[in-house]
């Protein structure tokens, strides 16, 4: 199977950088394109807090603006790891990561999602289950989970 449209969800961790490296190799072999997606859950939660507690609106708005600016800078760094001929685009969305990743992949008819087995927060994983696991269960396309150990991958 050729993977022409490859989605790489990133959380700006070194784990997602490894997943991106694997996606770039696959895109190069398959003559495909890589699309980056960062889903910001913290901003989503801040917007919910603002609705519940209107006096915090100014603080939440500033936090939101600063977060977006910082994430755009970080996204530019990750874009630099993709050769221009393989780059399809990048987007920052707000919401629950696994929901937005699965929705985006379906809406854009992605052929493959390449995600790291670990991300920024091991504590979240212990309580909620991993984003990678949820994506693998819910996605309508193939999912490649890149383990944090070198040269070990699990494909679904």
Q: What is the pLDDT of residue 51?
A: 67
Residue 79 to residue 83: CA distance in whole angstroms: 8
pLDDT at 125: 45
Measured in degrees and rounded to the nearest 5, phi and psi for residue 110 equal: -65, 145
pTM equals: 0.82
**Superfamily of the domain at 5-39+81-155:** HUPs (3.40.50.620)
| Residue indicated by tokens 């990743």 | 101
Question: What average pLDDT does this structure show over 110-128?
Answer: 70
Average pLDDT of the chain to the nearest whole number: 84
């Amino acid at each position: 199977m050729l993977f022409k449209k490859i989605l790489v969800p990133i959380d700006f961790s070194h784990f997602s950088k490894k997943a991106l490296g694997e996606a770039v190799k696959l895109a190069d072999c398959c003559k495909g394109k890589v699309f980056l997606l960062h889903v910001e859950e913290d901003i989503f939660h801040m917007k919910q807090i603002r609705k519940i507690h209107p006096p915090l609106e100014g603080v939440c708005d500033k936090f939101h603006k600063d977060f977006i600016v910082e994430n755009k800078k970080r996204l530019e760094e990750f874009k630099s790891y993709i050769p221009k001929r393989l780059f399809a685009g990048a987007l920052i969305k707000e919401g629950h990561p696994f929901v937005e990743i699965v929705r985006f992949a379906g809406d854009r008819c992605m052929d493959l999602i390449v995600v790291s087995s670990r991300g920024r927060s091991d504590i979240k994983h212990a309580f909620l289950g991993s984003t990678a696991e949820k994506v693998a269960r819910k996605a309508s396309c193939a999912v490649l989970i890149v383990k944090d150990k070198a040269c070990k991958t699990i494909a679904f």
